[in-house]
Amino acid sequence: MSGYRFRWVPVFVLGLLGGIGLTALATAQRTGVVVESRAVTPRAELTAEERSVTSLFQEAGPSVVYITSISLRRDFFRLNVMEIPSGTGSGFIWDDRGHVVTNYHVIRDGNRAEVTLADQTNWPATVVGVAPEKDLAVLRIDAPRGSLRPLRIGESADLLVGQSVLAIGNPFGFDQTLTTGIISALGREIDSMAGVPIRDVIQTDAAINPGNSGGPLLDSAGRLIGVNTAIVSPSGGYAGLGFAIPVDTVNWVVPELITYGRIRRPVLGVDLVSDHATRRLGLEGALVAAVYRGSGADEAGMRPTYRNRGGQWVLGDLIVAVDGTPVRSGGELGLALERRAAGETVTVTVDREGRQVDLRVELGEAEQ
């Protein structure tokens, strides 16, 4: 219905203006008075702030893309397989080799994706890698290098609340849309698609709506400082609470996805009791359910949870810190290890029967 409304309103307005024009002409013919348009008053130069924003948009706009996720559906009656759009979102060009960054949730329900550049050319995209735990994905298109304009990369560690920011994306399918605002807060935490928290998230009041997901959040110098990923809204639309994955996270995840197709996560070699069950036991930490034989945790003597001969459960080690960083859940254990590499040795502090024990554990690499 909205499409008809958008077409109908201009027709109505033109008809109304046409009627007014005919009435004015008839009046002029009767009275002999000709009414001319008023002279246009020249405007002053754009302010320095306006020039800065318009210049930034002209520079960064060509780097922002429109992403369509496409799913396969089978016609119930004819049994024909059809391709239908399953969602749309935003993204941006990472490098001149055709890599495009977006949110994982933009493409997760599709069988394939298409990327529309700012020049309105469409390109089929292949998925290079995904990181559901960071809500990031990398696509690749075979567009000519001359049409690829990578964004300049900034940093997020030194951001300040109150800084001006700009978001470019495709809200509700309207491409190349610019909104402005400020950084409202730093250090927020949101849940990822994998249930692992994403930390140090940027909160902004720049208008972010459905369709902005995967688009860039820029600083006043036009550098990428975040990837717009979520909003908090009772209505599903803009309510002044938008969140962006910080560029410092993006800048180490994306090279991993391009090189390996995934984040190479180091592991201790254990299975964990669910966080929900651990909390029900009144515990805070990552409770070890099982230890894999031959793993770093096994060689360090980490203890699993088991049932004794009397049928009673004996709780295993409760991981409470890694190299001094507190661990309050299984998700936080993953965060504490994500910047490590397989082969490194870390100090894992466990609560064992009410006393704290430090274990030196060599990290292994998670299987794909």
Tokens standing for residue 331: 């998700």
Active-site hit among 90, 99, 135, 219: 135
Cα–Cα distance, 136 to 129 (Å, whole number): 9
Of residues 185, 106, 167, 172, the one with CA closest to residue 139:
106
The answer to whether the Cα torsion of 265, 226, 108, 328 is positive or negative is positive
135 catalytic per annotation: yes
Beta-carbon contacts of 95 under 8 Å, excluding residues fewer than 6 positions away, are 148, 150
Cα–Cα distance, 111 to 108 (Å, whole number): 8
Cα–Cα distance, 287 to 284 (Å, whole number): 8
Q: What is the DSSP string of 124-186?
A: EEEEEEEEGGGTEEEEE----GGG--PPEE--STT--TT-EEEEEE-GGG--SEEEEEEEEEE
Cα–Cα distance, 130 to 240 (Å, whole number): 29
Cα–Cα distance, 270 to 293 (Å, whole number): 9
Active-site hit among 90, 156, 213, 295: 213
Beta-carbon contacts of 7 under 8 Å, excluding residues fewer than 6 positions away, are none
Cα-based angle 140, 109, 211 (whole degrees, multiple of 5): 75
Active-site hit among 63, 69, 99, 105: 105
Cα–Cα distance, 276 to 261 (Å, whole number): 30
Residues assigned a catalytic role = 105, 135, 213
